[in-house]
């Protein structure tokens, strides 16, 4: 797995207002930057990218389709 990284938009100071991600060929891992030793969420390859693209396209409104249904 690649090294953990976070967005340049993660806030002032030590930047602990964000999540960190690490990619591998088969999945993307996500963790809280404030608790790096805590739980890690793991998404199949491509799923996290699809999630991020949905946020970029829809914003964070209540109408965003984040579970993949198109109905």
Mean pLDDT of 35-50: 89
CA distances from 69 to 3, 27, 54 (A): 32, 21, 12
- At 21 the three-state DSSP class reads strand
Residue matched to tokens 């799923």:
47
Reported as a single tens digit per residue, the pLDDT across 11-26 is 666 656 788 999 999 9
* pTM for the whole structure: 0.66
**Domain ranges in the chain?**
5-58
In this structure, what is the dihedral angle of CA atoms 7, 68, 26, 2, given to the nearest 10 degrees? 0
């Amino acid at each position: 797995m690649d090294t953990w990284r976070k967005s340049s938009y993660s806030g002032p100071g030590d930047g602990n207002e964000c999540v960190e991600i690490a990619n591998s060929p088969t999945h993307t891992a996500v963790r809280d930057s404030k608790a790096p030793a805590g739980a890690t969420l793991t998404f199949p390859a491509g799923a996290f990218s699809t999630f991020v693209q949905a946020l970029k396209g829809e914003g964070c409104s209540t109408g965003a389709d984040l579970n993949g249904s198109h109905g």
